[in-house]
Chain A
């Protein structure tokens, strides 16, 4: 499935929710189900520091596809991280670089991407794309 398709899938899922509570409960569930990053990759180098919560991001290239794993110390951030991974992981560097990620706005969670939130998510997306650019140069 391409990136845009996954994004519309997520948008559809969120459309089922009537209120913010359901939305956040879902996000918390998604966060809890995120496959944990291998502890050996929870290094200082892989840490993305937000003012509020920490995110760890690791990526590797397998058969031309970028595989991301990540974790966060805050569960709501972790939910957002899990959504990002679901959208971007397992795609080619080119696909990742050109992704627009406008699903965040469509599911009404844009405020998690505003700079004032500083939860490390904006930096994480930037890092995911930078990793993809680096892999592209190698391929």
Chain B
């Protein structure tokens, strides 16, 4: 993604792609839907929707238990999905892929389990000012329990990490660094290769929150040498309620189970339990089987389009929208990093984001308004919230034109 400006012209057949997403043809308030809330959740291609129907119509059965045909088929489909995720992230082993409920669940798992094993009084956990609440609260909780300290890497006005400050904050008390790959509010693409490399010099592991990154870019966890990489299925065009925790085998083997129960064990007596090997040790209870299968279908779908094409096309949308929005009087873009994903947050002088969002909704334009679960970041910019338009590869320049004209209309009404 860092070489965006030099890459190819995207090979995107927008009509065919849009036809793959049934919801894009629905009407809202009598008008064609313009969906710019992809940062909150992405829409699902028909293939994903069909895979869920197919699962319940033809395969439904609990996994890893039965000897009967349905159970075996479900188990194979579930484990094939794990292999799909492994390949997608280029993880070394399939058992380094843990299925969770989503990004929040993945971070809670690591914070709790890693925290239990490695964090003690006086230790430090390092995050950044642009983190989503989901990558703040679990760490805050660990700090409270263990008497550890939460340290925060500052950002500059453009919304970029200040690397010199980061270097200064890394020390022998730092036990883990947890940082977002792409900011959900600002769109900043963080230099995570550098972040990880700098931490590794001091043998500090790094967790990357990839929730906003996986829909926009390909990730190679071995190349990055990320210790943990987490994301949600629903932002990657898959079902809700399913997510991924990638963890290096070494860490996952050493960390204690997070939740325990069915599926996580080798043997149980009332005196002692011997836990199962990875990945089952971290997958207590019946998992979200159809969600996992649907996620694999979504991953195959985006890979067919290809992330090189997606990145190039979305970059065109970002540039087009940035230029169009900057022409609107009183509009200020929040987050102007050199390296940005197709996410634009903005405020309009004298207007509340909620009012703008309400009028845009009447025009069938779905944007997100508010603090985007990044209240500390909003405090930093001294604003109550922003309006955020986040684009996916199925969005078009025509839709961006509708946003700008809708905004002009809203401003006229509200001023």
Contacts and interface: CB of A to CB of B under 8 A. Distances in A.
Interface of A: 20-21, 24-25, 28, 51-54, 73-77, 119
Given A20-B362, A28-B414, A77-B355, 8 more contacts: A24-B358, A24-B359, A28-B413, A52-B353, A52-B370, A73-B352, A76-B358, A76-B359
Contacts of A52: 353-354, 357, 369-370, 385
B132 to A, nearest CB: 15
A119 B352 CA distance: 12
Contacts of A20: 29, 362
Interface of B: 29, 351-355, 357-359, 362, 369-371, 384-385, 413-414
B29 A74 contact: no
Contacts of B352: 53, 73-75
B365 to A, nearest CB: 14
A61 B408 CA distance: 44
A76 B29 contact: no
B218 to A, nearest CB: 34
Contacts of B351: 75
Given A25-B413, A52-B370, A52-B385, A74 B354 contact: yes
Q: Ordered nearest first, which 6 A-B pairs have the shortest CB separation?
A: A74-B352, A74-B354, A52-B354, A53-B354, A76-B355, A52-B370
Nearest to A79: B355
B362 A24 contact: yes
B363 to A, nearest CB: 9
A94 B43 CA distance: 48
Contact of B354 (A24, A25, A119): A119
A67 to B, nearest CB: 26
B264 to A, nearest CB: 35
A133 to B, nearest CB: 29
17 contacts: A20-B362, A24-B358, A25-B413, A28-B413, A52-B357, A54-B384, A74-B352, A74-B354, A74-B355, A75-B355, A75-B414, A76-B354, A76-B355, A76-B358, A76-B359, A77-B354, A119-B354
Nearest to A119: B354
A20 B29 CA distance: 10
A74 B413 CA distance: 13
A81 B330 CA distance: 27
A73 B370 CA distance: 12
B98 to A, nearest CB: 31
Contacts of A51: 370-371
A8 B43 CA distance: 41
A73 B358 CA distance: 14
A53 to B, nearest CB: 5
Contacts of A24: 358-359, 362, 413
